[in-house]
Amino acid sequence: MCNTHSNGHAHGVRSDQDKAVADLRDDLIEELRLITKYDAQIPVIASEDFEGVDDVVHVLGHIRDEHKHAVGTLMEFINRLDAGQRAAAGHEHEAEHEHGGEHGHQH
């Protein structure tokens, strides 16, 4: 799941949380690709005439729906981690202002 090339950054430059969010975004893209694949594949197979075609279409639809659920789960985690990053960035920004104020720096 580890991605060393997301957004053109090296792992040494990004925080662990940044790396996790990048990996989750890559996973999200893969899930969306699979959903698109099944959405294209299902009607083609459904139009075929062979014994068990309905079962195949049903199973593929079920698998596609599981991927849709995974998309929702990944988006929740990404949003949660992004909110955490925003909060951490906000605290860092506040700390800079506090630090700057102690030394007479103006922003």
Note whether residue 37 is domain-resident: yes
Note whether residue 10 is domain-resident: no
Each residue of 5-19: pLDDT tens digit? Answer: 545 545 456 688 888
Each residue of 27-80: pLDDT tens digit? Answer: 999 999 999 999 999 999 999 999 999 999 999 999 999 999 999 999 999 999
Note whether residue 3 is domain-resident: no
Note whether residue 1 is domain-resident: no
Angle 64-67-72 (CA atoms, 0-180°, nearest 5)? Answer: 130
Angle 65-70-71 (CA atoms, 0-180°, nearest 5)? Answer: 95
Residue matched to tokens 């995974």: 70
Number of domains in the chain: 1
Note whether residue 71 is domain-resident: yes
Residue 97 belongs to domain spanning: 15-102
Provide the whole-model pTM.
0.66
Note whether residue 6 is domain-resident: no
